[in-house]
Amino acid sequence: MRLSSLLTSTARWGRAGFALGALALLSGCDYNFWRMDGHQSTITVAGPVARSQLEVFYVTCWVTLVIFILVGGVLAYATLKFRAKNEAEEKAVPPEQGHGNPLIELGLIGASVLALVIIAIPTLKGIWYTYDVPEDRKADTYEITATGYQWWFKFEYPSEQIAGTGALTTGNELVIPAGRPVRINIRTIDVIHSFWVPKLAGKVDMMPNRANFLWLQADEPGYFWGQCAEYCGDSHAVMRFRVIALSPKDFADWVAQQTSPARNVTPKPGEETPKAQFASLRTFKQNETGITDKYEIAPLEAWKAKQFPEKGENAALIAQGKALFASKTCASCHEVRGHGAAGISGPNLTHIGARSMLAAGLIENNAEQLRRWIRDPGSVKPGNKMAKGYLDNNIKLTNEEEVALVAYLQSLK
């Protein structure tokens, strides 16, 4: 028939076209998406909690795949076998008007229940295992409190108390000891957020008036990507964070550095002050990426390098930045311990220079991106409070002021 032949040829051409299109597309791409090995992969996991969750997933996946092949096979066979090949067959005497077969039905119900039992057993085991740290590891557990804000994360270390100011507080980069269970108390200050580091553990929501927690463990030292997973307003998509797992020694060093007050840079006697370049900043496109390949190749090393002072620090500029930090009302929201800034509504910046990312894991912490951020935070992260603070306090920064602030913040190692 004309119609059917036309259809078949359309289908054939369609298939060829799709194959071609897919090829053309994939040749230009860095990733084969079915490998699912990205930074936030739930498949290439790096800790026991995520691994347990993955194992359950694989069980469900295999069981359903087998059922799909069986049922789909029968469906495809029935469709092809009993298809009326032509109009005469369509109009033929109707087949036997049978109403079903209870035995087959019961058998299939039984088989479905069995298949579900196969899924249910690892599910139940997984629910209890992933809920809390196993008893025999409890003594070794490190505890941290994570609090969601619109749109960033605050991390507190209750076991690292600092005289006079309380627990060690950082923002957006969660540093944990590797090889040790970490129990994270999940809190929020405003709306519902969700704490998710796919490679380490599934998410748990940060619910107001609810004391949630999760546990996770990184097998090896590493640098992990995390993201808020519950819609929390305008900039939900860019509410990200990082988890850095360190070996016990590195972790102890890091804690020691973080618990000390903010770094002071004073000009060395006799040192010539280098002249600062006040080039104006290029304009950025909306949503432009702010991360370089450094964090693709060796993220942990790049992060470690950030722990050391930048090369060519300009002490005079830093001092100017420090003064601006107070005069431009930055200090009313941000804390820089030891420098007199004690705001609490924004992230703690005492050691901001030692973090790899800015604006909640969104852009890389380098001079250019930092300047992009402090010049116009609203364009980087729509709706955020810093942009509103600029408007409310009528803050406009000159090129010179931007550069000074950048130098100051970068010196806070």
Partner 1 sequence: MEAILKSDLHAKDTHAPAKSAIFWRPTAQTGLISWLTTVDHKKIGFLYGVFALFFFLVGGFEALLIRLQLMYPNGTVLTAQQYNTMFTMHGTTMIFLAVMPLSAAFFNFIMPLQIGARDVAFPRLNAFSLWTFVAGAIVINLGWFMHDGAPDGGWVGYAPLTSKTFAPDHSIDMWVMGLQLLGVASIAASLNFIVTIINLRAPGMTMMRLPVFTWMTLITAFLIVLSFPFITIALVELMMDRLFGTSFFEVSNGGMPILWQHLFWVFGHPEVYILILPAMGIVSEILPTFSRKPLFGYPIVVFSGASIGFLGFSVWSHHMFTTGMGTMATAAFSLATMAIAVPTGVKIFNWIGTLWGGHISMRTPMMFALGFVWMFMIGGFSGVMHSAAPADAQQQDSYFVIAHFHYVLIGGSLFALLAGIHYWFPLMFGRKVSEFWGKLSFWVIFAGFNITFFPMHFLGLNGMPRRTFTYDANLGWNAANYIATIGALILGVGIFIYFAVMVYTFLKGEKVGKDVWDARTLEWSLPNPPPEYNYRVIPTVHARDAYWYNKQHKEEIAQEEAEHAKAEAAHGGIHMPHQSIYPFVASLGLFIASIGIAVIDHDPSPGFWGKKIGLSMIGGVVMLAGIYFWALEGNEGYHLHPDDEGHAPADKKAAQH
Residue whose CB is less far from partner 1, 54 or 168:
54
Interface of this chain with partner 1, residues 119 to 138, rule: CB under 8 A? 119-120, 122-124, 126-131
Q: Quote the CA–CA distance of 312 and 13 in Å, as a whole number.
A: 62
Q: Quote the CA–CA distance of 358 and 365 in Å, as a whole number.
A: 5
24 near partner 1, rule: CB under 8 A: no
* Of the residues 16, 19, 20, 26, which one makes contact with partner 1 according to CB under 8 A: 26
CB 201 within 8 A of CB 233: no
Phi, psi of 15 (to 5 degrees): -60, -45
Q: Name the one range near partner 1 by CB under 8 A: 110-118, 161-169, 257-265, 386-394.
A: 110-118
382 near partner 1, rule: CB under 8 A: yes
262 near partner 1, rule: CB under 8 A: no
16 near partner 1, rule: CB under 8 A: no
Interface of this chain with partner 1, residues 264 to 293, rule: CB under 8 A? 285-289, 291
Q: Name the one range near partner 1 by CB under 8 A: 70-78, 163-171, 309-317, 347-355.
A: 70-78
* Of the residues 46, 47, 48, 54, which one makes contact with partner 1 according to CB under 8 A: 54
Q: Name the one range near partner 1 by CB under 8 A: 78-86, 310-318, 320-328, 401-409.
A: 78-86
Closest to 293 measured CA to CA, from 364, 222, 235: 364
* Of the residues 145, 212, 307, 329, which one makes contact with partner 1 according to CB under 8 A: 212
Closest to 169 measured CA to CA, from 238, 242, 255, 249: 255
For the beta carbon of residue 210, count every other beta carbon within 10 angstroms: 11
366 near partner 1, rule: CB under 8 A: no
Residue whose CB is less far from partner 1, 120 or 252:
120
| Residues facing residue 145 across a β-bridge | 156, 185
Residue whose CB is less far from partner 1, 210 or 309:
210
Which residue's entry shows tokens 């002249």? 275
Q: Least separation, in Å, of the C-beta of 95 and partner 1?
A: 5
11 near partner 1, rule: CB under 8 A: yes
For the beta carbon of residue 109, count every other beta carbon within 10 angstroms: 10
Q: Least separation, in Å, of the C-beta of 219 and partner 1?
A: 17
| Total of residues contacting partner 1 (CB under 8 A) | 121
208 near partner 1, rule: CB under 8 A: yes
* Of the residues 232, 331, 349, 406, which one makes contact with partner 1 according to CB under 8 A: 232
The H-assigned helical ranges of 179-275 are 248-259
Interface of this chain with partner 1, residues 86 to 105, rule: CB under 8 A? 89-90, 92, 94-102, 104-105
298 near partner 1, rule: CB under 8 A: no
Q: Least separation, in Å, of the C-beta of 367 and partner 1?
A: 20
9 near partner 1, rule: CB under 8 A: no
Q: Quote the CA–CA distance of 332 and 328 in Å, as a whole number.
A: 9
235 near partner 1, rule: CB under 8 A: yes
What is the strand order of the sheet 222-228 is part of? 173-177, 240-246, 222-228, 193-197, 201-206
| Residues facing residue 264 across a β-bridge | none
Q: Quote the CA–CA distance of 187 and 145 in Å, as a whole number.
A: 7
User: Tokens standing for 61?
Assistant: 């996946």
Q: Least separation, in Å, of the C-beta of 395 and partner 1?
A: 22
Q: Quote the CA–CA distance of 397 and 400 in Å, as a whole number.
A: 8
CB 194 within 8 A of CB 205: yes
19 near partner 1, rule: CB under 8 A: no
User: Tokens standing for 19?
Assistant: 């194959």
- CA distances (Å), 176 to each of 219, 247, 351, in order? 11, 9, 16
Closest to 342 measured CA to CA, from 333, 351, 352: 333
Interface of this chain with partner 1, residues 177 to 206, rule: CB under 8 A? 186, 190-192, 194, 196, 198, 201-205
